[in-house]
Structure 1
Amino acid sequence: MFGFSAIHVIGIVAGLALLYQSYRLVAARKEGIFEFLLWAGFGVGLLVISIGSALETVDLLAALEGGLSALGFARGTDSIFFVSNLLLLFVVFYTYVQLVESRRQLSDLTQELALLRYDLEQRTDDED
């Protein structure tokens, strides 16, 4: 019934770690709800694939292939590869957008700090 191997155990542990870490970061308000849903979704997906492929009575990959072929993909393995690459592209794009926003905020803060230093220097010069 169960055909657990080392890769299944690694997948289950990694999936649980993703879920726990996402929850911990949201609880500490270090992560937004969108990031939580993204990483928790990856964790749940990893758990489903790891447990589903370890069960010998359920052919999870055939079910995934059937579902993706219903969406219009030609072969199941190619469609799984395509969808996973699409998700990775989404994560890379999201990371890039966050990086650009962080750079903009850093630039704004640097300019504000320079103006505050200039204002402080002017005030100390006027007092002397």
Structure 2
Amino acid sequence: MIGFELAPIHGIGAVAGLALLYQSYRLVAARKGSVFEFLLWAGFGIGLLAISVGSALKSVDLLYALEGTLSALGFGPGTDSIFFVSNLLLLFVVFYTYVQLVESRRRLSDLNQELALLRYDLEQRTDDED
């Protein structure tokens, strides 16, 4: 028999995981996001959904399985290794966001320069016609 103990945090985590999956699919379907972004956010959604449902099931000790996997990779035992990997993933997301911001600023600067040149060219043409 599978024991199931649903706490409010499990429901919140499951809903948030499903929302991440849905939103990442919707952004890619509307061509507003790249495949990499879809994989990133869908991966977080699946991970959150798996942890939420897995920790609600009493017959499955998901944290023990995660600790076993992390110890096989060379991390120490305990929840500290899980927090370490979580922080690495968050750092990756912050870095990715920073790179996207820098790229957007560069594009905006290029567009401003191009617009200024077009305005100057338009003003020169209207002055020459007069």
For Structure 1 versus Structure 2, the TM-score category normalised by the shorter chain is over 0.9
The answer to whether the Cα contact below 8 Å between 1:68 and 1:79 also exists between their aligned partners in 2 is: yes
Report how many aligned residue pairs link the two structures: 128
The answer to whether the Cα contact below 8 Å between 1:68 and 1:76 also exists between their aligned partners in 2 is: no
Aligned-pair Cα RMSD in Å: 0.5
Which residue of structure 1 aligns with residue 118 of structure 2?
116
Which residue of structure 2 aligns with residue 11 of structure 1?
13
Which residue of structure 1 aligns with residue 91 of structure 2?
89
Which residue of structure 2 aligns with residue 102 of structure 1?
104
1:1-128 to 2 correspondences below 5 Å: 1-128=3-130
Q: Which runs of 5+ in 2 are unaligned?
A: none
* Equivalent-residue separation in structure 1 for 2:31 and 2:60 (angstroms): 39
Question: Among the aligned pairs, what percent are the same residue?
Answer: 84
Deviation digits for residues 69-122 of structure 1 (CA, Å, limit 9, x no counterpart): 111111231110110000000000000000000000000000000000000000
Q: Which runs of 4+ in 1 moved over 2 A?
A: none
Q: Which runs of 5+ in 1 are unaligned?
A: none
* Equivalent-residue separation in structure 2 for 1:53 and 1:15 (angstroms): 14
* Equivalent-residue separation in structure 2 for 1:22 and 1:62 (angstroms): 29
Counterpart residue type for residue 98 of structure 1: Q
Counterpart residue type for residue 10 of structure 2: H
